[in-house]
Amino acid sequence: MAIYTCKLGASDGKVIFRELEADEPLMLRNSLEDQGFFVFEVKRKPLQFLFEKGLQRRRIDNRSLLTLNQEMLVLIKAGMPIMQVLDAILERHEAGKLNELLLQVREDVKGGAALSAALDKHGRAFPQLYVASIRAGERTGDLLRTIRRYIQYLKRVDVIRKKVISALFYPSILIVFAGMAVTLLLLYVVPTFSQVYADAGSQLPAPTRMLISFTSFLRHFAPLGVLLAIGLAAAYRSWVNTESGRFTVDRFKLTIPVAGDVFTKYSVAGFTRTLATVLGSGIPIIESLRMCIGTLNNRYMEKRLFEAVRFVEEGGRLSIALERINIMPPLALRMLGVGEATGALEDMLIDISDYLEEELEERMHVLTTAIEPAIMLVVGVVIGVIIIAMYLPVFKIAGTVG
């Protein structure tokens, strides 16, 4: 997401300035207008890369946010007013980033601001989805239910994220150690054999000569290769951080055989669960869709979804809008259509998310089950070729002697 400097007019006539994150300036402008602000200017902040690391340090991680909301839920359920809730939480928390932010939030609430407004002042630290959910809970007078829903949302998202990481962990370890084994053979074992053969002065077979030449090339140009790889990685990262680069890469990811389906299901599952949470908090459908676009975490899909939002704004049905942009499986679209027709859109979105997450888990299991033997087979073939190439002279000498 990019950071934008916004010049806004409040309902009381004051002009205020805020720095907010968003995927596109038009989405941010529409969201601010829905919140009752008059938008004078939305300007992208220059030199974004200088602030990226600092921005990541300031953002509250999901685990801390989950703990905070669980504490708030217990204290509010006990009947404590919001000021006492914040005081009790601050007493339990040690000094740190979250504690500093909560102290500022407490002072704003003490000065008469709503909790959502106090959190919104720290938009870089607290997700906009969370702030909007709290605001909706304040509007409906059911903050307890809103917080409970957000806790369930955070837990489910964390479960899916851990499952994906767990599925990719073992193949990643295999690839790393396989690469280390092949590198060790090429850079240390093969040169030792080549020196022995050079001292013997015998004519080497063609595969052995090719392997020795390749190893010699690697040893001489390894430092240059490392520098080149670092340069290419830096150039790639710089390009990916641009709008066009990120859009191109995200679009390419969806076209990769098998893996593209996994990327799609992961993004859409997160989007539908988030949309269900926001709608359940009492936020209107258009505003909810705009807020949830960023949860796809894919520029290409976000752009397509933005087209769907405009279609819904013009009076179209959500199921038809999503069918037009073709980012959701046919069964999920039919389920969504049924949810719209029966007035149970929120429950159906949760069912769609559960269905997609089950499909995703099954596909990840199949992929990891297939990847592990494939990696071992490839590594075995590579190591086998290296060993055979290095022992061919020995076989040749043995044959000559015999």
Separation between Cα atoms, residue 216 and residue 219, nearest integer Å: 5
Separation between Cα atoms, residue 380 and residue 291, nearest integer Å: 49
Separation between Cα atoms, residue 288 and residue 294, nearest integer Å: 11
**Alpha-carbon dihedral angle through residues 173, 163, 1, 129, given to the nearest 10 degrees:** -160
Which pLDDT belongs to residue 230?
92
What predicted TM-score, i.e. pTM, was given to this entire model?
Answer: 0.66
Q: What are the backbone angles phi and psi of residue 80, rounded to the nearest 5°?
A: -80, 140
Q: Nearest to residue 114, comparing CAs of 91, 86, 89, 88?
A: 86
Which pLDDT belongs to residue 52?
45
* Complete domains list, the chain, with CATH: 1-58 (no CATH), 60-126 (no CATH), 259-356 (1.20.81.30)
Give me the amino acid identity at 225. Answer: G
Separation between Cα atoms, residue 328 and residue 55, nearest integer Å: 32
pLDDT tens track, the chain, 402 positions: 567 788 888 776 677 777 776 766 777 787 777 777 788 888 877 654 444 444 444 678 888 888 888 998 899 888 888 888 888 888 877 767 788 888 888 888 888 888 888 888 776 788 877 887 788 788 777 788 888 888 888 888 888 888 878 878 888 888 888 888 888 888 888 888 787 777 766 677 888 888 888 888 888 887 888 899 899 999 998 888 887 888 899 899 888 887 888 888 888 888 888 888 888 877 888 888 887 877 787 888 888 888 888 898 888 888 899 888 888 888 888 999 898 888 888 889 989 988 888 888 888 888 778 887 888 888 888 888 888 888 887 776 665 554
**Using an 8 Å Cβ cutoff, are 28 and 6 in contact?**
yes
Q: How many CB atoms lie within 10 A of CB 259?
A: 13
Separation between Cα atoms, residue 76 and residue 349, nearest integer Å: 28
Q: Which helix (H) or strand (E) holds 22?
A: strand 15-22
Which ranges constitute the DSSP H helices of 189-242?
190-200, 206-240
Q: Nearest to residue 367, comparing CAs of 270, 261, 239, 220?
A: 261
**Using an 8 Å Cβ cutoff, are 147 and 76 in contact?**
yes
Which ranges constitute the DSSP H helices of 4-96?
25-34, 52-58, 62-77, 82-92
DSSP SS3 for 135:
helix
Sequence-distant (6+) residues with CB within 8 A of 173 are none
Which pLDDT belongs to residue 49?
43
43, β-bridge pairs: 5
